[in-house]
Structure 1
């Protein structure tokens, strides 16, 4: 009886894992709907590939989540956050700005990009 119960339990766990992974895959494909500061509904991809972030602390979160290499514009600089550029060398390729104001036209001209609010 113990073997039969263990077999059913293993089958149930495997089914739950399979269903969970399928639902996670389905949710990745649909864009996220958000309301911007002007009240308009905007669609953004589930996983933006290019991120411009005007708040230094977001970079640490993006790095922790494995999305740091997607940062294409940053307010961080090697002189102020040297550890960040050592941990994530791709930041050296990102456009660094002074302050928190991006040249939006230049960034949009370089391709699809997602802006992170501060």
Structure 2
């Protein structure tokens, strides 16, 4: 049996990655635009984006010299379906997720 949920929950455990997901809820973004408001290096942002991509939470696409990032909610849906098995959780409401992610303060270095 393939464990696809562990990378999702591990990715969501980090506040910087949650901040990035909140940004990508609004629109697709270039990596440099993702990095601009964060208080970490571009290399650090790239590492976070790699974790999110490996977890299936985002997709990255090179367009010329620019790498664009796009939210992929399917991994969140899979996690939601798993949590529903406990009978305590509703399906993922992307608007509620966005509100939660916006309330999470960005990490400070």
Normalised TM-score (structure 2): 0.26
Pick the structure with more helix per residue: 2
Structure of greater relative contact order (alpha carbons < 8 Å, 6+ residues apart): 2
Pick the structure with more strand per residue: 1
**Larger Cα-atom Rg:** 1
Normalised TM-score (structure 1): 0.25
